[in-house]
Amino acid sequence: MIPRSTLKRLANEHGTPLFVVDHNALRRSYAQFKKYLPRVQAYYAVKANSDPAIVKTLYDAGASFDVASMPEFRIVYEHIRRMPPKERQNWIWDKIIYANPIKANETLQELNPYKPLVTYDNYEEIKKIRKYAPQAGLALRMKVPNTGAMVELSSKFGAAPGEAVDLFLAADQAGLTVEGLSFHVGSQTTNFENYVQSLNLAASIFKEASGRGYTKMNVLDIGGGFPAPYDNTVRPFRELARIINRELDRLFPEEIQILAEPGRFLVATSAVAVSKIIGKAVRDGKLCYYIDDGVYHTFSGVIFDHCHYHFKAFRRGSTQVCSVFGPTCDALDVVSMVEELPGNLRLGDLLYSENIGAYSHASSTWFNGFPPAKVVHINQ
């Protein structure tokens, strides 16, 4: 937790809106992931927050990276290209997976010289990869249950388990190599049973593939979805890790490399947003505060991520149910309709929102002419 005194000092120094990233929190999250899932290599999902300073801290801590666009790829590659040539030879397998199952032809052409590991989930993608990125290794994205996830992904991506081995063989016949299997249980998944079902499905597909003569797979990517501790309703990560470790040990021999794509889990608790009250009104008997940040900026997760961020005030006072609105003229710019805040807050007073590091500032725009929050890094 960043001390309130530090947040207030930074806001006074830099102005608001402000997005404060604590790199010690990043390192703690990564260390926790490695502690409880020692067999799993963490490939940070860069889309959760692509700030280069965040990527650098996780890279230095030992993380690998899941990228889903060429700009994300280049952010990570900036660090990899500084490796000594000998260490760089197999960097792609150790440091990056291009985990967007659908890729433009131009993207595949740009990726091909790096001999990357890429995901796919359909026959058309095999044709594209064969033509534009024949040096790529493949991982098949499988459709799995997303029950209880805050953001469901299975309707957009993933091959049906029943066609998985056919897709392995089709890629093999096209002269490509399928290195393994991947899945994603949905973002912020609090239903741990999703992982159990997905791992068992994956094990059955590995077995079917072997039975049909395809024995080249040695990678399992268990995706993301690891829930960030937004509140006390989220069960501890160690409980989920215990379940995953049990199933991995039971179902997959040691020679199978296990990857994961944690994004939210690694970065959510690392940042705090600080905003200033710029307006105050009573509407239909309800107190409304207007702040200089909103859903087109740091609080974009309200729209895109189904997330509900809470506010705390620096000024004390008796609380009441309030609404909090962003600064733009768009009626969509509603940060929260139900917040417990002091009723005595004044124009110019500061509010802060914790655990806002993931899928927030990453989606900021300049809508209505309002700039994104200034980013400040501490404990780098």
Helix extents (H) in 112-263: 123-132, 164-173, 193-211, 237-251
d(CA 344, CA 105): 57
Residue 189: half-sphere exposure toward Cβ, Cα within 13 Å:
27
Specify whether the CB–CB gap between 275 and 11 falls below 8 A: no
Backbone angles phi, psi at 239, to 5 degrees: -65, -45
The widest CA-to-CA distance across the chain, in whole angstroms, is: 71
Query: Between the CA of residue 62 and those of 55, 56, 65, what are the distances in Å?
Result: 11, 10, 10
d(CA 37, CA 367): 41
- In this structure, the dihedral spanned by the alpha carbons of residues 34, 191, 69 and 30, taken in order and rounded to 10 degrees, is -20
Query: Between the CA of residue 375 and those of 21, 186, 274, what are the distances in Å?
Result: 7, 28, 11
Q: Does residue 21 sit in helix, strand or coil? A: strand
Query: Between the CA of residue 205 and those of 201, 289, 338, what are the distances in Å?
Result: 6, 54, 46
Q: What is the Cα 3 distance to its own chain's centre?
A: 25
Is 329 a residue of the active site?
Answer: yes
d(CA 373, CA 50): 15
Residue in 288, 307, 322, 329 annotated catalytic: 329
Instruction: Look up residue 317 and give its two tokens.
Output: 């006072």
Q: Does residue 7 sit in helix, strand or coil? A: helix
d(CA 258, CA 213): 22
d(CA 121, CA 149): 21
* Length of the chain measured in residues: 380
Among all residues, which ones are annotated catalytic? 329
